[in-house]
Structure 1
């Protein structure tokens, strides 16, 4: 079981690197973005304006963009409540470490790693900011430093906070597998839909969405190992 926990993040990293290599070689980021309907008149008059990407401002995509943080906020509030009650109710005490995990994953994943260290530093221009789509900056691949300034395209903060819905997967899948799988699938689906919304709005490339989910999963896997939230089931056999 422990060996599997170490293999999992390695396998996820390998898959992310492989897909990223294909995106680089095929220039798929720009090609997929070029398929999104745009209003060229608005783009010419108002560079970097999301109104030049009209489909992303229609239902359901605009709604997905607005509600993206809500599940994460609810999970964080629930975890904080469980943590607090765990100090007073014995039956909640075993869940305190899992609650701490949820709160730390939110702070470290969408917070520190994605929004502060990467979005705040790499400076990758968003699709609506690059020359090909009406902006003023040159296109850069994911993980390449760019000139887009802080709050840049890579990775997607909105997609990351939406993918956070999968967080209970890490603390439930040893004892409550069906619930864990439900959270994992829901998180992947919600994050993907929010990611599509951001692509349609000219806010992100496909690779921004891919790495938002991938990094969250990697941070969750490593944090779970560090905190010891996984139950060693080898003693059951």
Structure 2
């Protein structure tokens, strides 16, 4: 996607009213509270991990708990929000001259200065995509449930990303790359944790 970023963002922007839809629900609620499901899932993993050292019946969940915690920290946390988002320097749509701002539009592959923006990639979308994390440890045990969580995570990540696009916070490519980073993190951990055996 190249100029499609600008074209799609124009659907949500009015020169008169700005990013008017972004202040409405459900987009506002998603921005404020949309991270909660993923945070609960990762907290559940942390709880299972800690309790597995005190209750023998939970030992079988220790690996899954550690996976969920590591996945959240490394994927949405370190790779998306710290390594790229804080340092890539891509201006948000709302900050570009195309939409009334002062920064020059940059393609996703064009690195800028950190102070120029935190558009690439989308942190909210990354946390949404995290909901497909059970897909990786359920692939062998239950293909049906694995497929369910994969669809859930993709759908929720796209929904969260769309909300941020509507608010002028991210371009479509920011959302797509968030999904790719989170999936590749999960896939790497899938092999590290040997869920394929």
Q: How many residues align?
A: 197
Aligned residue in 2 for 1:134: 100
The DSSP-based 3-state class of the residue aligned with 2:75 is helix
2:28 paired with 1:68: no
Is the contact between residue 115 and residue 151 of structure 1 (CA under 8 Å) also seen in structure 2?
A: no
Is the contact between residue 143 and residue 154 of structure 1 (CA under 8 Å) also seen in structure 2?
A: no
Query: Residues 101-140 of structure 1: matches in 2 within 5 Å?
Result: 101-140=67-106
Question: Which runs of 5 or more structure 2 residues have no equivalent in the other structure?
Answer: none
Is the contact between residue 190 and residue 196 of structure 2 (CA under 8 Å) also seen in structure 1?
A: no
Q: From the CA coordinates, give the structure whose radius of gyration is larger.
A: 1
Aligned residue in 1 for 2:182: 216
The DSSP-based 3-state class of the residue aligned with 2:82 is helix
Aligned residue in 2 for 1:34: 10
Normalising by structure 1, we get a TM-score of: 0.79
**Distance in 2, Cα, partners of 1:150 & 1:92:** 47
**Distance in 2, Cα, partners of 1:54 & 1:170:** 38
- How far is 1:66 from its partner? 1.7
Normalising by structure 2, we get a TM-score of: 0.94
Q: Which range moved further: 152-161 or 85-94? A: 85-94
Question: Which runs of 5 or more structure 1 residues have no equivalent in the other structure?
Answer: 1-22, 43-51, 233-237
- Give structure 1 regions of 4+ aligned residues with deviation exceeding 6 angstroms: none
- How far is 1:178 from its partner? 2.3
Judging changes above 3 Å, is the alpha-carbon distance between structure 1 residues 150 and 75 closer, same or farther for their aligned structure 2 residues? farther
**Distance in 2, Cα, partners of 1:70 & 1:211:** 21
